[in-house]
Amino acid sequence: MTTLALTATDSATLLRRNLRRLIRYPSMTVQLVVLPVLMLFLFVFVFGNQLGHGLGVPLAGSHTSRAGYLNYVVPGILLLTIAAAVQGTAIVVAMDMTGGIIDRFRTMGIARAAFLTSHVLASLTQVLTSIVVVLGVSFALGFRSTANPLGWLAAIGVLLLFAFGLIWLATALGLAAKSVETASNTPIFIVLLVFLGSGFVPASTMPEGIRQFASWQPFTPVTETIRGLLTGTHLGANAIAAISWSVCIAIVSYLWAAHLYKTRQPR
């Protein structure tokens, strides 16, 4: 077998293992999906009326401020879903690194890249599943999109590309963590970035300092791109910024993760 075929085979084997682990230990996955769904309910039903009113833009055929806010907030909730899911990535990577099984993998003649690749692919699968669940709930609550199938495909593509970058980042954080506890805490800043972007309220309404930060950090252009693709708001340069950010985060995080995997001694 060639190196590439070997890497693909071993990655597929380990991917099956990782997915099976997610199914066997569903409480974490469920928890990571429940968080964005709860946030959706909280923001739409508790704060939605006032927030929608404050936004002052009755969006895409909505009759009430609350329904308008639902349409506004769904892209933010989708990014929150990704941010929550990658926390799981850091945890499962750290679980493997601090347990004995990584020593077994390292002393076997398996393809070098297979371990990290399989974790990233498992997390992507998990993110996709979470996104589908959250979108389902959003539709049930009355979310309406103006997008055609191509728009949907583009939106899912942008979400997955951004998730891909954040998964590599979380993988690196999981590799760098000395314990599973640390690994479950360090990615929390990613969740925070969702709120410090344009996910829940426009960045332009934020106080001086935070406003500049919010408009420059990666979550804002990604949020605006999804919002544009799904609800027809103005896209502008956001799509290019979103894709550039995603690719940059993926490359830098991948290099960091690969370096950590090579040099870090388990335990």
Residues that bind other proteins (CB under 8 A): 1, 9-10, 13-14, 16-17, 20-21, 24-25, 99-101, 103-110, 265
> Measured from the CB atom, is 104 or 259 closer to other proteins?
104
Shortest spacing between CB 154 and other proteins, in angstroms: 36
> Measured from the CB atom, is 234 or 262 closer to other proteins?
262
Q: Is 60 left (phi over 0), alpha (psi -120 to 50) or beta?
A: left
Distance spanning both ends of the chain, measured CA to CA: 33
> Measured from the CB atom, is 216 or 267 closer to other proteins?
267
Shortest spacing between CB 31 and other proteins, in angstroms: 16
> Measured from the CB atom, is 99 or 157 closer to other proteins?
99
Shortest spacing between CB 117 and other proteins, in angstroms: 14
> Measured from the CB atom, is 115 or 219 closer to other proteins?
115
Shortest spacing between CB 191 and other proteins, in angstroms: 26
Shortest spacing between CB 6 and other proteins, in angstroms: 8
> Measured from the CB atom, is 12 or 241 closer to other proteins?
12
Shortest spacing between CB 100 and other proteins, in angstroms: 4
> Measured from the CB atom, is 65 or 118 closer to other proteins?
118
Shortest spacing between CB 12 and other proteins, in angstroms: 9
For the chain, give the DSSP string: --HHHHHHHHHHHHHHHHHHHHHHSHHHHHHHHHHHHHHHHIIIIISHHHHHHHH----TT-SSHHHHHHHHHHHHHHHHHHHHHHHHHHHHHHHHHHSSHHHHHHTTT--TTHHHHHHHHHHHHHHHHHHHHHHHHHHHHT------HHHHHHHHHHHHHHHHHHHHHHHHHHHH-SSHHHHHHTTHHHHHHHHTTTSSS-GGGSPTTHHHHHHHSTHHHHHHHHHHHHH----TTHHHHHHHHHHHHHHHHHHHHHHHHHHPPP-
What is the amino acid identity at position 234? H
